[in-house]
Amino acid sequence: MSVLLTVESLAGGGAVERLHKALQEVLENILDPNTPAKKPRKAVLELIIKPNEQRNMGEMTISTKTTLCAPEPIETSIFIDTDKKGKAVASERVSGESPGQQPLMEEMHPDGKIATIQRRA
Protein backbone atom coordinates (compact mmCIF):
# COMPACT_ATOMS: atom_id res chain seq x y z
CA MET A 1 0.00 0.00 0.00
CA SER A 2 1.42 3.38 -0.93
CA VAL A 3 0.95 6.58 1.02
CA LEU A 4 0.29 9.90 -0.67
CA LEU A 5 3.55 11.83 -0.75
CA THR A 6 3.55 14.94 1.44
CA VAL A 7 6.36 16.80 3.16
CA GLU A 8 4.83 15.82 6.50
CA SER A 9 4.88 12.09 5.62
CA LEU A 10 8.42 11.96 4.17
CA ALA A 11 10.69 9.54 6.04
CA GLY A 12 8.04 9.00 8.69
CA GLY A 13 8.00 12.70 9.59
CA GLY A 14 11.80 12.94 9.56
CA ALA A 15 11.89 15.70 6.93
CA VAL A 16 9.67 18.00 9.00
CA GLU A 17 11.59 17.11 12.16
CA ARG A 18 14.88 18.12 10.54
CA LEU A 19 13.38 21.33 9.18
CA HIS A 20 12.12 22.22 12.65
CA LYS A 21 15.61 21.57 14.06
CA ALA A 22 17.19 23.80 11.40
CA LEU A 23 14.63 26.52 12.10
CA GLN A 24 15.39 26.28 15.83
CA GLU A 25 19.12 26.79 15.09
CA VAL A 26 18.28 29.89 13.05
CA LEU A 27 16.07 31.32 15.80
CA GLU A 28 18.71 30.69 18.47
CA ASN A 29 21.31 32.40 16.27
CA ILE A 30 19.02 35.42 15.86
CA LEU A 31 18.61 35.67 19.65
CA ASP A 32 22.37 35.45 20.27
CA PRO A 33 23.42 39.00 21.24
CA ASN A 34 26.93 38.30 19.92
CA THR A 35 25.69 38.06 16.32
CA PRO A 36 24.63 40.93 14.01
CA ALA A 37 20.95 41.71 14.50
CA LYS A 38 19.85 42.52 10.96
CA LYS A 39 21.77 40.02 8.81
CA PRO A 40 19.57 37.33 7.22
CA ARG A 41 19.75 33.67 8.20
CA LYS A 42 18.47 30.66 6.25
CA ALA A 43 16.88 27.30 6.97
CA VAL A 44 16.63 25.18 3.80
CA LEU A 45 14.97 21.81 3.29
CA GLU A 46 16.48 20.09 0.24
CA LEU A 47 14.87 17.12 -1.47
CA ILE A 48 16.93 15.32 -4.12
CA ILE A 49 15.22 12.58 -6.14
CA LYS A 50 17.26 10.17 -8.26
CA PRO A 51 14.86 8.22 -10.53
CA ASN A 52 15.56 4.73 -11.85
CA GLU A 53 15.85 3.91 -15.57
CA GLN A 54 12.16 2.95 -15.85
CA ARG A 55 11.14 6.22 -14.16
CA ASN A 56 8.76 4.40 -11.85
CA MET A 57 10.85 4.59 -8.66
CA GLY A 58 13.30 6.98 -7.19
CA GLU A 59 15.67 7.31 -4.29
CA MET A 60 15.14 10.49 -2.29
CA THR A 61 17.72 12.23 -0.16
CA ILE A 62 16.38 14.67 2.41
CA SER A 63 18.71 17.20 3.94
CA THR A 64 18.62 20.53 5.70
CA LYS A 65 21.12 23.34 5.60
CA THR A 66 21.37 26.46 7.69
CA THR A 67 23.14 29.72 7.06
CA LEU A 68 23.87 31.38 10.37
CA CYS A 69 25.73 34.53 11.37
CA ALA A 70 29.09 34.20 13.06
CA PRO A 71 29.56 36.08 16.33
CA GLU A 72 30.86 39.62 16.04
CA PRO A 73 34.61 39.94 16.71
CA ILE A 74 35.68 41.00 20.19
CA GLU A 75 38.44 43.58 20.50
CA THR A 76 40.91 44.03 23.33
CA SER A 77 44.27 45.71 23.83
CA ILE A 78 47.48 43.90 24.68
CA PHE A 79 50.91 45.05 25.79
CA ILE A 80 53.80 43.40 23.93
CA ASP A 81 57.32 43.30 25.32
CA THR A 82 60.20 40.96 26.05
CA ASP A 83 61.08 39.29 29.35
CA LYS A 84 64.54 39.30 30.96
CA LYS A 85 65.64 36.50 28.64
CA GLY A 86 64.49 38.31 25.47
CA LYS A 87 61.46 36.06 24.94
CA ALA A 88 58.37 37.80 23.55
CA VAL A 89 55.57 38.15 26.10
CA ALA A 90 52.19 39.83 26.09
CA SER A 91 49.56 40.77 28.63
CA GLU A 92 46.04 42.02 28.19
CA ARG A 93 45.30 45.60 29.13
CA VAL A 94 42.91 45.80 32.05
CA SER A 95 40.38 48.63 32.10
CA GLY A 96 41.95 51.70 33.70
CA GLU A 97 45.50 50.40 33.24
CA SER A 98 47.95 52.80 31.65
CA PRO A 99 50.52 51.92 29.00
CA GLY A 100 53.83 51.32 30.74
CA GLN A 101 52.17 50.22 33.97
CA GLN A 102 53.48 46.77 34.71
CA PRO A 103 51.62 44.16 36.71
CA LEU A 104 53.31 42.98 39.90
CA MET A 105 54.66 39.54 39.13
CA GLU A 106 56.74 37.19 41.26
CA GLU A 107 59.33 36.67 38.54
CA MET A 108 60.15 40.39 38.63
CA HIS A 109 61.54 40.21 42.19
CA PRO A 110 65.04 38.84 42.79
CA ASP A 111 63.99 36.83 45.87
CA GLY A 112 60.85 35.51 44.17
CA LYS A 113 58.54 36.81 46.88
CA ILE A 114 55.96 39.55 46.90
CA ALA A 115 55.99 41.54 50.11
CA THR A 116 52.72 42.60 51.66
CA ILE A 117 52.36 45.80 53.62
CA GLN A 118 50.78 45.40 57.03
CA ARG A 119 48.36 48.19 57.87
CA ARG A 120 48.18 49.48 61.38
CA ALA A 121 44.81 49.37 63.07
Q: What is the mean pLDDT of residues 34-39?
A: 96
pTM score, whole prediction: 0.64
> Between 83 and 58, where is the model more confident?
58
CA-nearest of 47, 44, 65 to 6 is: 47
pLDDT at 10 over 60: yes
Q: What is the DSSP string of 70-115?
A: PPPP----EEEEE-TTS-EEEEEPPTTPPTTPPP--GGGSTTS---
For the segment 28-34, the average pLDDT, to the nearest whole number, is: 97
In the chain, what are the domain boundaries?
1-96
- For the stretch 59-111, pLDDT in tens is 999 999 999 999 999 998 889 999 889 899 998 877 665 655 555 554 555 55
**Residue 92: predicted pLDDT:** 87
